[in-house]
């Protein structure tokens, strides 16, 4: 640059002034042209930079939107898959059935979860263990299922009939040309439609003394004064509605089987009346007794009540029951409540004095309640809910024609298989005593639980191959690990909350058929009847006979000032056991009509000679 400048200066030496001025003017013009070009370039560069930044922002927004849409697509795909399985798949939680269904399913090619992903270190480390699990699964799948037992007809009354017509046999084979070699036995179960009759009872009114004062001797209290309702009729209606899930409007259309028309409103009014007057004291007694149990289980489900204070009309049913493994008489309690908050738990367990170990899921109301219970409530986890989350993640894979090694190397399948082994080891222990169960769990179940959580801890949640469902399942297992391990330290604690979920099934079936309750009082009445029916079933009692027993006996204690009679009103009481046995025997005797006597072969007569 300096050399060029020095050369230019030397070229100007010796030139006249006019020539130097021309050179300077030409250089100035050239400079101005270059400035104009530079300004135009700067303006163009600024515009390009602005457009570039705008395009970059648009690209980033598009990438974020694409990622959000991808997540939504995966979520909706999962929801659709699970709902489709709920609607059209097999209703089972058996691990082998689920694994078989997924392993042999057909997968859409555009499934966002079917993308190839690099195998993680954890999967490679567990491959040998999974091969063993896969061979175990193949062996179990190949085993034949045991044949179902033959139908047990020993408890039915028997009518013995002989189908015999001598004249028909004579015409078919010739008179005196046949004899009975033996009898073919054909068994059929016959049904007699329910018998309904009007019972008219006359009670004496006596004239006492010379003054002829009229008096009525003591008699049993009427179930509903001035009503034709009887214990047997109301027990049948409640049993059909809350056990067989036949709504009252259908019972109304079928009321001709009673021999007289019976409206839905009449049946509803009868049920509310007897529930309040006669069944609620038994319900309250069972609630109080359940609160004394140290091992309990709890769950909740939604329930619709039309005339309630909330605009949505969506309320809840809480199910409290005694622990599945406890030897005390089983108690199942249903409670209607307007909310799903921990307030219900505080109200229900108010006044408890001993420690309660409560098996439940991870719903936030339970830890909130336990935190404020001053150490009187200890929560235990539900392995079924943990397994269910891994199963949902497995159902999303939907990849068919898996090779055995590839399928069982999937983390979803591995987790489900490990959970299956835990259940396979724990289920047979239900028949043992508490101490035996505890020792057996320490020996056989604890190593399998340790293996499951060791595997869960080894999963890397940052792995892009993991679906959101799988990540959710892993987080659930890790958060609930202390609660899910508690059943190992106490033989009275169940591995899961399955017993309560099976009790909820009754409400679900009733809800599907009857849809809703109209008023809160009707909902509470329903829950009382459900509680009595399910408690009866849990103790091996027949719900129909138990309801009939209560409706026959409780009116006599309508104005009782104490509760001394309530222990005899439980389905496990000796008084009820004797009643059910006698009533069933009387019912059986009245069911089968008499048969006929066994005929004998007619005496052969002398054969007449044939005429010539």
* DSSP codes of every residue in 59-101: HHHHHHHHHHHHHHHHHHHHHHHHHHHHHHS-----HHHHHHH
Q: SS3 for 149-201, per residue?
A: CCCCCCCCCCCCCCCCCHHHHHHHHCCCCCCCCCCCCCCCCCCCCCCCCCCCC
Whether 375 and 269 map to the same domain: the answer is yes
Whether 503 and 359 map to the same domain: the answer is yes
The pLDDT assigned to 108 comes to: 38
Does 601 or 529 have the greater pLDDT score?
529
pTM exceeds 0.95 for this model: no
Dihedral over Cα of 167, 173, 178, 180: its sign? negative
Please tell me the total count of domains within the chain: 3
Whether 108 and 81 map to the same domain: the answer is no
Task: Classify residue 391: in a domain, yes or no.
Answer: yes
Label the pairing between strands 377-380 and 206-208. unpaired
Whether 281 and 376 map to the same domain: the answer is yes
Residue range 578-606: average pLDDT?
76
Residue range 76-103: average pLDDT?
60
Q: Which of 25, 59, 88 is the last residue of a domain?
A: 88
Task: Classify residue 70: in a domain, yes or no.
Answer: yes
Task: Classify residue 412: in a domain, yes or no.
Answer: yes
Provide the phi-psi class of 259: left if phi over 0, else alpha when psi is between -120 and 50, else beta.
Answer: left
Task: Classify residue 199: in a domain, yes or no.
Answer: no
What domain range is 343 assigned to?
A: 263-298+338-382+497-558+565-593
Q: What are phi and psi of 144, to 5 degrees?
A: -75, 140
The confidence band for 264, taking pLDDT boundaries of 50, 70 and 90, is: very high
pLDDT > 50? residue 113: no
Q: What are phi and psi of 85, to 5 degrees?
A: -65, -40
The confidence band for 87, taking pLDDT boundaries of 50, 70 and 90, is: low
The pLDDT assigned to 116 comes to: 40
With CA atoms as reference, report the closest residue to 329 among 504, 576, 553.
576
**CA dist list (Å): 34 to 20, 21, 43, 340, 509:** 21, 20, 14, 78, 88
C-alpha–C-alpha distance, residues 415 and 379, integer Å: 24
């Amino acid at each position: 640059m300096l050399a060029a400048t020095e050369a230019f200066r030397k070229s100007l030496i010796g030139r006249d002034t006019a020539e130097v001025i021309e050179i300077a003017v030409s250089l100035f013009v050239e400079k101005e042209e270059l400035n104009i070009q530079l300004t135009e370039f700067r303006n163009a560069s600024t515009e390009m930079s602005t457009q570039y930044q705008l395009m970059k922002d648009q690209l980033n927004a598009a990438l974020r939107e694409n990622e959000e849409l991808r997540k939504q697509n995966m979520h909706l795909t999962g929801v659709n898959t699970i709902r489709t399985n709920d609607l059209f798949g097999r209703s089972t939680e058996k691990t082998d059935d689920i694994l078989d269904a997924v392993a042999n399913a057909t997968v859409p090619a555009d499934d966002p979860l079917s993308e190839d992903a690099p195998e993680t270190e954890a999967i490679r480390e567990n491959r040998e263990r999974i091969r063993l699990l896969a061979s175990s699964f193949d062996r179990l799948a190949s085993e034949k299922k045991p044949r179902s037992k033959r139908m047990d007809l020993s408890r039915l009354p028997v009518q013995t009939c002989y189908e015999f017509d001598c004249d028909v046999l004579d015409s078919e084979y010739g008179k005196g040309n046949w004899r009975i070699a033996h009898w073919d036995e054909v068994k059929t179960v016959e049904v007699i439609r329910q018998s309904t009759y009007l019972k008219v009872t006359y009670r004496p009114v006596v004239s006492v003394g010379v003054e002829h004062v009229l008096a009525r001797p003591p008699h049993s209290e009427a179930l509903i004064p001035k009503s034709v309702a009887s214990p047997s009729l109301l027990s049948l209606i409640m049993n059909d509605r809350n056990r067989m899930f036949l709504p009252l409007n259908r019972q109304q259309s079928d009321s001709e089987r009673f021999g007289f028309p019976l409206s839905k409103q009449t049946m509803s009014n009868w049920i509310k009346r007897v529930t309040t007057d006669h069944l609620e004291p038994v319900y309250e007694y069972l609630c109080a007794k359940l609160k004394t149990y140290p091992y309990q289980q709890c769950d909740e489900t939604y329930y619709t009540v039309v005339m309630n204070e909330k605009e949505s009309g969506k309320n809840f049913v809480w199910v409290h029951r005694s622990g599945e493994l406890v030897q005390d008489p089983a108690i199942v309690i249903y409670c209607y409540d307007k909310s799903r908050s921990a307030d219900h738990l505080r109200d229900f367990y108010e006044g408890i004095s001993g420690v309660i170990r409560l098996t439940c899921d991870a719903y936030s109301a339970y830890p909130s309640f336990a935190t404020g219970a001053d150490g009187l409530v200890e929560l235990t986890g539900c392995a079924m809910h943990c397994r269910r989350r891994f199963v949902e993640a497995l159902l999303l894979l939907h990849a068919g024609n898996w090779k055995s090694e590839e399928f069982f190397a999937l983390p979803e399948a591995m987790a489900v298989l490990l959970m299956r082994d835990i259940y396979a080891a724990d289920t047979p222990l239900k028949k043992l005593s508490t101490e035996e169960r505890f020792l057996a769990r320490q020996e056989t179940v604890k190593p399998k639980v340790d293996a499951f959580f060791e595997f869960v801890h080894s999963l890397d949640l940052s792995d892009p191959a993991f679906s959101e469902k799988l990540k959710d399942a892993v987080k659930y297992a890790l958060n609930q690990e202390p609660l899910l391990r508690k059943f190992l330290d106490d033989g009275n604690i169940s591995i899961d909350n399955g017993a309560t979920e099976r009790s909820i099934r009754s409400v679900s079936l009733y809800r599907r058929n009857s849809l809703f309750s109209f008023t809160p009082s009707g909902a509470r009445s329903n829950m009382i009847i459900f509680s009595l029916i399910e408690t009866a079933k849990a103790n091996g009692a027949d719900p129909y006979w138990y309801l009939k027993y209560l409706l026959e006996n409780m009116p006599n204690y309508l104005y009782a000032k104490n509760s001394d009679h309530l222990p005899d009103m439980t389905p496990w009481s000796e008084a009820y056991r004797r009643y059910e046995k006698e009533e069933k025997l009387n019912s059986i005797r009245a069911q089968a009509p008499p048969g006929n006597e066994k005929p004998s072969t007619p005496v052969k007569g002398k054969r007449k000679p044939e005429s010539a």
